[in-house]
Structure 1
Amino acid sequence: MNGGTERTKRTAEPSTAENPWPVRTVARKIADWIHRLGAVWVEGQITQISARPGTQTSFLTLRDPAADVSMTVTCAARLVRDCDPPLRDGARVVVHAKPTFFLNRGTLSLRANEIRPVGIGELLARIERLRRLLAAEGLFAQERKRKLPFLPRGVGLITGRASAAEHDVLVNAQARWPAVAFRVVNTAVQGAAAVPQIVRALSTLDADPEIDVIVIARGGGSVEDLLPFSDETLCRAVAAAGTPVVSAIGHEPDSPLLDHVADLRCSTPTDAGKRVVPDVREETARVHQLRDRARRALHGWVDTQCRLLEQLRSRPSLAEPLEPIERRAADVQTQLERARRAILAAVGNEQAALAAARARLNALGPSATLARGYAVVQYHDEQGNLAVLRSVSQVAEGTPLRVRVADGAIRAIAGAQEE
C-alpha cells in the first residue's frame, strides 16, 4: 500500500532528472490524453490495404492528400469487404474512428467502426465548391496570368516516370526546337503521394534560375485519377509560383482546377510540347522573309535616294552654279549704273537750283548794291552794338563810324553836319 502510494505521488509530481517518469508512466499518460479525444471523422486517401482472408481485422494506411502525413487504421474485416464500391489504393474515404495508443508498442492508430467511400458526385461537388472559392479569390483571373517567354532558356517538366505524357512533351518540343533544354522531375501523378511530390517538384523548379517555364503534364484518366490536379494545395502553389506554369492534363474534355490556375492551359501534353517553344522551321522562314523584306525595303530606299540625288544634280542651281551669280552680278551692275545716273542727275538739278538761288540772292542782297558804289555806315548804339546809321541825328560830331563798302570796311569819325 505504501509502495503504490509512493508511485502515485512520484507520477503526480513533475518529472526531473532526479525524479524521472518510467516509460510505462509516459505511455499511460499519452494514452489517457489520446483516449480523451474521443471518436472523430477523418478524411483521407487509402494508400495500403491489408485484408488477409480468414482474419477478423484489416489494416489500412490513410494518407492526407495534401501533405506527407499518414496514419494506420484498424477495423473489422467486414467493413472492408462490405464497402461498395470496393476499396482500392488511392480511393478517397471518410472514416469514423477512435484514436488508440498501444502501450506495448508505443504506436498510435485509428480504430474505425465505419468507412464511407467518397463517391464521384461528392468529389465533383467538392471540386465545384473549391472552383467557386478560388475564382472568388481571383486565382482564375486573366490579368494575373503571365505570358510565356518566346524562347525559354530551360523548361521544367513535372510528369510521371517513363509516361506517355513525358514522351509527348519532349518529342514534340525537341522536334520544334532541337536545342531546347529540359529538366524533368518525375513524380506520382495519381494517388495520395501525387500532390506532395508535385508541390515539391514545383518548388524545386521554381527556385532554379535557368528554368523559364514549368510544364505539369499527365495523360488522361478518370475523375479519381485526376483528383490531385484539382487539389487546393497544388492550385495555390501554382498560383504563388514565380515562374509561368503550363497545365497539360489529360485530353481535351478533361479540365481539372489546375487548368484554370495555370498561366497557360494546353489540351494535351502534345499541345504543351508545341506551345512552350517556337518552331525552328517557322522562325527560320520568318527570318528569311523579314530579311527579304528588309533587303527590298533597303534597295527601294537607296533607289529613291539616288533618283532624288539625280533630280538635285539636274537642277540649274547645281548644274551651273555660277550662272545665277553671274546673272545677279549683271543685275547688280545695271542697278549701279542706274543709281549713278540718278545720283548725277539729282546732283546736277540741285546745283542748278543752287546757282539760281545764289543769283537771286545776289540780286536781292546788299552786296550787289555795294558793288554799284554804295556804302553802309554803322555806329555803336547805347548798348555798344553796331547799328546802321539812318539819320545824321543819330550821331554827334566825333562819333566813331564803320563804313562798309563792296570790298571791305573802313573806320571814320563823324564830322560837322552840313546843310
Structure 2
Amino acid sequence: MSTQPPPNTADNPWPVRTLSLKLADWIHRLGQVWVEGQLTQINRRPGTRTAFLTLRDPAADLSLSLTCDPDLLRRSEVPLTEGARVVVYGRPSFYTGRGTLSLRVTDIRPVGIGQLLARIERVKALLAAEGLFDVRRKRVLPFLPYTVGLISGRGSAAQRDVVAVATARWSTVQFRLSEVPVQGPSAVPAIVEHLQLLDRDPQVEVIVIARGGGSVEDLLPFSDETLLRAVADCRTPVVSAIGHEPDNPLLDLVADLRAATPTDAAKQVVPEVAAELAAIEELRGRSANALRNWVRREEHLIDGLRARPVLARPHRLVDDQRAVVDRFRADLRRAIDHHLTAERHQQAQLAGRLATLGPAQTLARGYAVVQRIDDAAPHAVSSVDQLPPGAQVRIRVADGAARAVVVDPEGTP
C-alpha cells in the first residue's frame, strides 16, 4: 500500500529542493506557449551556444527572461534590435539550482507593420464599440488655463515647441512638465503614471501629450489600449499632439482635442494675447458704436414725439375740447331759448283762445251767470225750473256780482 506524504506544516516544512522541484514540475506542465512583447535586452555571448534576451510587456512593468540559440537570432529575416515587437514560441523552464524562471525559445517572429496595423484596428473597433470615441464624451478646454500639464520626452523638440509657442502667446501661462519615454517598452507605463499624477493635481486645467513624428513602431505606445483607457478615465481635458499631420494614433480619437502638431496644440490650448486684446478692442468699438447708434435712434424718436402737436402744445387738446364744449353749450342754450320761445308763443295762443272762450268775455258782452246759493252746494243755474220763488241766487256780471231773491220765475215764451 502507498503511504501519503506527511502534510506540510511548521513542524514538517519542505526543504528548498522539494519546493523547487514542485515548482519546476508545475511550470513544465504548461508546455509550449506563444508570447508577445518587446525586446529590451539582447545579450549574445561569444563562444557560447546560448543567447540571453529580456521580453517586456508593452503596457505593464513586467518582463521575462528568454534564452535561445544564437543562430535563431542570426537567421531572422528582420534584424532583431532592442525595442522590436516580437512573438516568441518556447517552453517555460524553472531552474531549480538558481530558483529562476525563463522561457526557452525555439521561434522568434518580428511583428510586421501589417500585423501592428491590424492589431491597432482591432483595438480601435473595440474601443469604438464601448463608446470611448463618442464626441459627447469630449470635454471643452478652458478658455485661459493658468496651469498646463505637459507630457513629453526629456528635452524633446515637442516640449520646446509647446512651451515656447504657448509662452509667446500668453506669458503668464504655467507648465507642469512630465518628462517620460515616448517610445519603447517603458513608454506606456511611464505615460500612464504621469497622466494620473497630473489628473489628480487640482491646479492643472488641461493636459497635453506631445511627441514629434516617427514610424509606426515609434508611435505604437500612443495606440496602446492601456493608455487609451487611462486617457478616457481622466477628469481633466486631454489634448493629443502626436507626430505630424499624417500621423493618426488612436490617442487622437480618445483625447478631448486632437492637435495636428505640438505647435498646433500650444495654439489650441493657449489663446494669443495680441489677438485677444485686438478682439476685445474690436468688441469695445462695436459696442460703443452700437450704443451710440441706439442713443441716436432714441433721440430721433424723442424728437419725433416732441414734434407732435400733442407734446409740442400739450394744452391744445384741452383748448380744442374746451372750444367744442363751449360750442355745445351755445348750441344747447340756443336750443333751450328757441324751445322756450316756442312754448311762450304757444302759451300766448292758448291763453288768447282761452280768453276768447272763457266766461269773462261772455260776461263782458252783457251776459250773466246765475248761481243758486241757498242749497247745500251752490251751483250754476241753467234752467228756470231750478229757480222757485224765494230762491236765493248770486248773479255775476262782467264787473262784479249781486245777490237776489226770485219773486216770480218766468218760463220761456
TM-score with structure 2 length normalisation? Answer: 0.80
Q: Which residue of 1 aligns with 2:105?
A: 112
CA distance in 2, matches of 1:65, 1:303: 71
| Residues 222 and 249, structure 2, Cα contact 8 Å, conserved in 1 | yes
Q: Which residue of 1 aligns with 2:240?
A: 247
Matched, 1:228 2:224: no
SS of 1:9's equivalent in the other structure is coil
Q: Which residue of 1 aligns with 2:283?
A: 290
CA distance in 1, matches of 2:352, 2:370: 20
More off after superposition, 353-362 vs 65-74: 353-362
Letter of the 1:301 partner, please give it. Answer: W
**C-alpha displacement at 1:227, in angstroms?**
1.0
More off after superposition, 118-127 vs 168-177: 118-127
Matched, 1:200 2:193: yes
CA gap 1:89/1:367 in 2 versus in 1, 3 angstroms: farther
Question: C-alpha deviations, 1:103-126, integer Å up to 9, x for none?
Answer: 233332222222211122222222
CA distance in 2, matches of 1:78, 1:360: 164
Matched, 1:184 2:209: no
Question: C-alpha deviations, 1:186-229, integer Å up to 9, x for none?
Answer: 11100011111112222222233333322111111122111111
| Residues 146 and 172, structure 2, Cα contact 8 Å, conserved in 1 | no
CA gap 1:330/1:121 in 2 versus in 1, 3 angstroms: closer
CA distance in 2, matches of 1:200, 1:281: 36
Letter of the 2:40 partner, please give it. Answer: T
**C-alpha displacement at 1:91, in angstroms?**
0.7
CA distance in 2, matches of 1:352, 1:98: 148
Alignment of 1:20-419 (within 5 A): 20-350=13-343, 352-353=345-346, 373=369
What is the number of residues matched between the two proteins? 385
More off after superposition, 208-217 vs 323-332: 323-332
CA gap 1:332/1:9 in 2 versus in 1, 3 angstroms: same
Q: Which residue of 2 aligns with 1:9?
A: 5
CA distance in 1, matches of 2:362, 2:52: 165
SS of 1:38's equivalent in the other structure is coil
More off after superposition, 106-115 vs 135-144: 135-144
TM-score with structure 1 length normalisation? Answer: 0.79
CA gap 1:334/1:93 in 2 versus in 1, 3 angstroms: same
**C-alpha displacement at 1:132, in angstroms?**
3.5
More off after superposition, 240-249 vs 57-66: 240-249
More off after superposition, 326-335 vs 251-260: 326-335
**C-alpha displacement at 1:74, in angstroms?**
2.0
**C-alpha displacement at 1:266, in angstroms?**
1.8
Task: Give the share of equivalent positions with the same residue, in percent.
Answer: 57
Question: C-alpha deviations, 1:293-327, integer Å up to 9, x for none?
Answer: 11222222223333333333344333333344334
Structure 1 gaps, min length 5 = 380-389, 392-404, 406-418
SS of 1:97's equivalent in the other structure is strand
**C-alpha displacement at 1:281, in angstroms?**
0.8
CA distance in 1, matches of 2:170, 2:270: 7
SS of 1:229's equivalent in the other structure is helix
Question: C-alpha deviations, 1:247-305, integer Å up to 9, x for none?
Answer: 11112222222223322222211111111111111111111111111122222222333
Q: What RMSD in Å do the two structures reach over aligned CA positions?
A: 3.7
CA distance in 2, matches of 1:362, 1:24: 169
CA distance in 1, matches of 2:21, 2:352: 158
CA distance in 2, matches of 1:283, 1:16: 76
CA distance in 2, matches of 1:73, 1:321: 107
CA gap 1:42/1:338 in 2 versus in 1, 3 angstroms: same
CA distance in 1, matches of 2:320, 2:113: 103
Question: C-alpha deviations, 1:15-55, integer Å up to 9, x for none?
Answer: 33444333333333222222221121111111122222222
Letter of the 2:159 partner, please give it. Answer: E
More off after superposition, 365-374 vs 199-208: 365-374
Letter of the 2:245 partner, please give it. Answer: E
CA distance in 2, matches of 1:39, 1:352: 147
Q: Which residue of 2 aligns with 1:384?
A: none
More off after superposition, 63-72 vs 355-364: 355-364
**C-alpha displacement at 1:166, in angstroms?**
0.4
Q: Which residue of 2 aligns with 1:413?
A: none
Letter of the 2:5 partner, please give it. Answer: K
